[in-house]
Chain A
Amino acid sequence: MTAALLEIRGLTKHFPVAGGLFAAKGAVRAVEDVSFDLFPGDTFALVGESGCGKTTIAKMILGLERPTAGSIRFKGVDIVNAGRTAMLDYRSQAQAVFQDPYASLNPRLKVKTIIAEPILAHRQERGDVLGRKVAELLDTVGLPASAAELYPHEFSGGQRQRIAIARALALQPRMIVLDEPISALDVSIRAQILNLLADIQEEFALTYLVIAHDLALVEHFSSRVGVMYLGGMVEYGPTEAVYANPAHPYTQALLASVPRPDPDHQPPEGMISGEIASALAPPPGCKFNPRCPRALPICASAVPTRVSPRAGVSHWASCHLLSQNTNT
């Protein structure tokens, strides 16, 4: 079994509410005890609806937020408590592309500065060599070399996202975190960018961590998926396995609710009710239990453990129903 590139264990993040000079009054439990592995060459998708914590996890992995508890290890090295040199080294291997192509690029900088920024931060190259590197990167993402001298506002959304991807590639990273990389783009442009991401993944042997809410996209694009609900991971496994046999009621409801371009498809009723609870006061026991159509009495008191519906496949879900069925 290959070693994991990224190991997440017990990752937790609470945001204090009403902080400041006085003690916090409460906390938003954005992420609660999440563990998973990212293997080299994988495309791992974190899916979930608003408030599930997937973006917060991405930020912690990128070192933009500090976890309240838990560990993040990249190639075995602890990232959370890393010193400056270790962090800089990590940053040269872990890059990101964010959702909004209009906010990702500093409007006052030329494209060449934007793309070269990671290289400049690591003091790797200068001058002509740098210029050639930038031209190469622009070519890789399908933009002409002349784009280097222009400013972001002269490009469309799809082109800006290409620039953002070029910047992410600048240091030849091992892993790229993609936070909703195409959801802010026009429908007819999305496929272009998706295909580009697939191509460069193959060309540069990249590992992707994708944050997404579009389940059809995730099925198409990812090899492994983790389903998040209100801060916790409720299901994890290879995409095919999870989509073919969703074990957790929430995953089942999600998949059933995805709109399909099929006029005769109607989502079945009664799979999910009510609204997502607040992360300030999540329900006790299983967080999904108030909305679950098949909740058991135990669900309101005890947090479910991970159970694999079938042995031998690394596919698990946190659900009491499964523990019952598989007879622990």
Chain B
Amino acid sequence: MTTGGDSAWAARDKCAVVGIGSTAFSRDSGRSVLTLASEAALGALQDAGLSVHDIDGIVGCDHDRVTPWTLAASLGATGLDWWAQTGPGGGAPCMMIALAVGALMSGQCKAVLAFRSLNGRSEARLGSGVPGMGGQTVGGFGSYDEFYLPQGLITAGQTFALMAQRHMIEYGTTAEQLGAVALACRAAANQTPHAQMYERTLSMEEYLGSRMISTPLRLFDFCLESDGACAVVLTRADRARDLPRHPVLVRAVAGGAPPDLRGGMMFPAVTRHDITDIGGRTAAERLWQRAGVGPRDMDLAQIYDCFTISVILQLEAFGFCKRGEGGPFAASGALLRDGELPINTAGGHLSEGYVHGMNGIVEAVRQLRGDGDMQIPGAELCLCTGGPLPVGSSVVFRRA
């Protein structure tokens, strides 16, 4: 026993991502989210050397307008006999991998498709406020939005701004340190032709000069709003060996809640005692135990970057640095291609595109196959994270 005895991790390295697919990322796809999801799914199946008839499970995100069965109908995947939707929001993709592992390990499924599709710029801009805000009366029924939206706390950006402000108060985190996250993601995007910011460089001067959105967060602290879809196909590892692509194993998965978890989505999370401590820290404890490796073993990471501050908080939560030291860690150059922990190697949500965590999973697989545009040499282990509010989720992938 090398794991510290977490028997849940009988699943270590037993399942694999065997196919990945993506659409182009844009400001206006001109197509429905179902069409985008179908294109990404068919791309992932083709990559895996599988047909739509091989798929028996589909898992999606609770925020997706495309349900698993609607995607199955579009694909002609009539073998569907297992489906799931998970969340919350950006916490979904890593938990989709966890659900797929459960379905495969229990024998319920032989091939699971996980997907996320959104016209996040042209149809449903996430930055314009929370879903359901259209009516004049808001909240109730366990959302708790009645305490926040009427005050003008409306967006995720404002919520993370409160966390960033508190991180600055407690640890002296600076704008330049947040900027180091934005610049690292942009530098990766500049090496990645499909990234939305491929041709647009970003200097610290430009970062600091960008307009303030919600203090202390500026325009370039915010991720892109994008149209696009991503999908991955998973099978058990023994089957993966017979498929055409080099398998990328699911080493471990874990979710986690912060110690004084609050209900609702993101707003109540900022009323916790320690608002810069996130569920990712709980997830990390389980993740590293299940994986039998630790943060220092990661060759790279895809850190969920809805905002720059989200990355700082997760670097601390997953143990890459101590609490409060995420800012200096980012500013040290650690997150760059040649740094200690290259992150978001296709540009992340900040500069590649925002597919709500799913593009990070796809990029992890690309890197561990050795197919990255900004390939990290010898990459064997990659962390992916999701969340980070109200709960966190995570996966370690390993090159087979």
Q: Do A and B come from one complex?
A: no
Residues of chain B at the chain A interface (Cβ within 8 Å): none
Residues of chain A at the chain B interface (Cβ within 8 Å): none
